[in-house]
């Protein structure tokens, strides 16, 4: 037995052990329960399939040779409806282990040769647990980022501050899935409201919204005093409680977000809330400054600039997150932007046109934040339903960018970058000059970079084949004039590759 085996701390990971030998399943159950796992047993392989279908198991310990069906047949049935469960096959002897091909095709995480010691099996289980934890973290980020993208248009919509506080509170609940939430907006720190501000009524000194039972008057008063009156500027974490200030551009505390999670605050929750707090600060300032529109028009213009800068910051961060989710697409948006601007310059377009195209290119795949990793990083061919979900990213990206007026002219470009010159593209089936020219340029740059980059499902096609594909796609997939201009740009391809290397490194830094 391994040293320290007497651990009894419970955890949230569940195991189903399946063997037609009841002694083996009971032995495995006793062993892993001492390590704190939740362990069920099953001796009928057919019933095991139904238990996995109807239960919530993280790991399956499965005997290979059983009656009436063997372990690989059990796995084959389970994989038809469950791709997530981690599976370890148990064999009586190494010579009876399943072929490596079978293990790969059925996505089995490993196999263990039975013995009177379970040390190696426990290591395999611990490896599965680490992978599951990492996947849960990724899924938590996925959920949180998708929630933020859905919430941003709501909080940036001009509304009375009371409604804004409610929108922020509901956003915090969606991001964290917590029922104990507090949001306060300290309006007196933001601006002095003139009479008749156009948002309903004059605002009280502090607007507070609460959900759940934890944030009593006493609890709220303690933290409001700490952040507003004593000037605390950094988030504060106390076991199950997290308080994050909503700070203005001058770092003044203009509000406060608080959550209580019974199982403790996770690192990813804190990160997501800090991102959301920055956007909430922009929304609060935007609402307040709009209340002064008739008196301070110049300040309103500056507010829009601040709002744009803040929105660009978070969208740029999310744009880099899209690249970072997959090592194969890292730097893709920067390269597409570079190719697109060079092509526009070759076509003789103005500097304003090129700047608009640059921003649209950088954000062209921002809608992919709403696509699950299980689809985006899939190494095999996508199903029809999965492909339809991926196709929605163009329209989703346009929706995200439409949340702010300054990006109104960029959103249609992002929406149209997967349209085809012959009308066979998506999401709107536009053709030829009905497609914004900037979107037609991005389509060529995007396709070339995809073809010349390694992806998880295939290697790079190489420069020559990519050029042939572009040439063959003239008048069907691509605008012929744009393809011709792009091919002229590629005459300097070796120098371009050097420039692209430091351009992406600079963007990340």
CATH code for the domain in which residue 343 is found: 1.10.3210.10
Give me the CATH number covering residue 103: 3.40.50.2300
pLDDT tens for the chain, 509 residues: list them. 344 444 444 567 999 999 988 999 999 999 999 988 999 999 999 999 999 999 889 999 999 888 888 888 899 999 889 888 999 988 876 666 677 777 787 788 877 888 778 888 899 899 889 888 888 777 777 777 777 777 778 787 777 777 888 888 888 888 888 888 988 886 554 443 333 333 333 334 567 888 888 888 888 888 877 877 777 778 888 878 888 888 876 667 788 888 888 777 778 878 888 888 888 888 887 776 766 554 555 555 666 677 667 666 766 666 666 665 554 456 788 899 999 999 999 999 999 999 899 989 988 888 887 777 677 667 777 888 888 888 888 998 888 888 767 778 899 999 999 999 999 999 999 999 999 999 999 999 999 998 988 766 678 888 999 999 999 999 999 999 999 999 999 998 888 877 776 544 444 43
Where among 295, 317, 335 does a domain terminate?
295
Label the pairing between strands 110-113 and 86-91: parallel
* Distance, CA of 57 to CA of 38 (rounded, Å): 9
Q: Are residues 96 and 164 in the same domain?
A: no
| 305 within some domain | no
What phi, psi does 60 have (nearest 5°)?
A: -120, 120
* Distance, CA of 280 to CA of 258 (rounded, Å): 13
Spatial contact of 243 and 160, defined as CB atoms under 8 Å apart:
no
What phi, psi does 87 have (nearest 5°)?
A: -125, 130
Where among 250, 276, 295 does a domain terminate?
295
Spatial contact of 357 and 441, defined as CB atoms under 8 Å apart:
yes
Spatial contact of 187 and 193, defined as CB atoms under 8 Å apart:
yes
Residues whose CB is less than 8 angstroms from the CB of residue 181 and which lie 6 or more positions away in sequence, other chains included: 169, 172, 173, 210, 211, 212, 215, 257, 258, 259
* pTM exceeds 0.85 for this model: no
Q: Is 339 exposed, middle or buried (0-12, 13-18, 19+ CB in 10 A)?
A: buried
* Spatial CA neighbour of 190 closest among 303, 103, 53: 303
Count of domains for the chain: 3
| 410 within some domain | yes
Where among 277, 295, 313 does a domain terminate?
295
* Distance, CA of 70 to CA of 68 (rounded, Å): 7
Q: What is the CA radius of gyration of the chain?
A: 28
Give me the CATH number covering residue 206: 3.30.450.40
| 147 within some domain | no
CA dihedral (252, 255, 260, 264) positive or negative: negative
Domain that holds residue 30: 14-133
* Distance, CA of 220 to CA of 258 (rounded, Å): 9
| 372 within some domain | yes
Q: State both tokens at 129.
A: 């647990």
């Amino acid at each position: 037995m391994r040293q320290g085996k007497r651990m009894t701390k419970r955890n949230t990971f569940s195991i189903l052990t399946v063997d037609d030998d009841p002694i083996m399943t009971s032995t495995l159950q006793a062993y892993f329960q001492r390590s704190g796992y939740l362990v069920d047993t099953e001796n009928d392989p057919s019933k095991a399939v139904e238990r996995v279908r109807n239960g919530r198991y993280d790991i399956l310990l499965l005997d290979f040779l059983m009656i009436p069906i063997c372990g690989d047949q059990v796995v084959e049935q389970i994989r038809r409806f469950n791709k997530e469960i981690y599976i370890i096959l148990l064999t009586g002897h190494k010579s009876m282990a399943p072929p490596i091909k079978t293990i790969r095709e059925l996505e089995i995480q490993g196999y263990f040769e039975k013995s009177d010691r379970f040390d190696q099996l426990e290591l395999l289980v611990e490896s599965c647990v680490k992978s599951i934890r990492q996947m849960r973290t990724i899924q938590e980020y996925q959920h949180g980022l998708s929630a933020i993208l859905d919430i941003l248009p709501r909080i940036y919509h001009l509304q009375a501050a009371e409604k804004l506080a409610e929108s922020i509170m509901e956003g915090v609940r969606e991001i964290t899935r917590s029922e104990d939430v507090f949001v306060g907006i300290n309006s007196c720190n933001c601006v002095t409201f003139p009479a008749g501000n156009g948002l309903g009524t004059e605002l009280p000194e502090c607007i507070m919204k609460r959900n759940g039972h934890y944030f009593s008057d006493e609890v709220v008063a303690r933290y409001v005093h700490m952040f507003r009156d004593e000037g605390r500027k950094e988030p504060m974490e106390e076991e199950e409680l997290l308080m994050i200030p909503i700070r203005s551009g001058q770092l003044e505390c203009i509000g406060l977000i608080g959550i209580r999670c019974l199982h403790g605050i996770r690192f990813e929750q804190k990160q997501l809330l800090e991102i959301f707090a920055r956007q909430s600060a922009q929304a609060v300032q935007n609402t307040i400054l709009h209340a002064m529109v008739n008196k301070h028009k110049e300040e309103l213009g500056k507010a829009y600039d601040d709002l744009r800068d803040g929105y660009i910051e978070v969208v740029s961060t999310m744009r880099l997150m899209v690249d970072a989710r997959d090592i194969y697409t890292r730097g893709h948006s920067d390269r597409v932007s570079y190719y697109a601007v060079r092509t526009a310059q070759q076509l003789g377009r103005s500097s304003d046109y090129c700047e608009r195209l640059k921003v649209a290119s950088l954000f062209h795949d921002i809608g992919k934040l709403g696509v699950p990793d299980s689809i985006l990083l899939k190494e095999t061919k996508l199903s029809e339903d999965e492909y339809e979900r991926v196709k929605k990213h163009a329209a989703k990206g346009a929706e995200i960018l439409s949340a702010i007026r300054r990006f109104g002219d960029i959103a249609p470009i992002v929406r149209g970058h997967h349209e085809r010159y012959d009308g066979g593209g998506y999401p709107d089936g536009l053709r030829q000059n009905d497609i914004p020219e900037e979107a037609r340029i991005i389509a060529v740059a995007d396709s070339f970079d995809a073809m010349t980059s390694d992806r998880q499902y295939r290697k790079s096609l190489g420069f020559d084949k990519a050029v042939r594909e572009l040439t063959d796609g003239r008048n069907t997939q691509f605008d012929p004039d744009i393809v011709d201009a792009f091919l002229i740009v590629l005459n300097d391809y070796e120098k371009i590759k050097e420039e692209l290397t430091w351009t992406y490194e600079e963007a990340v830094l």
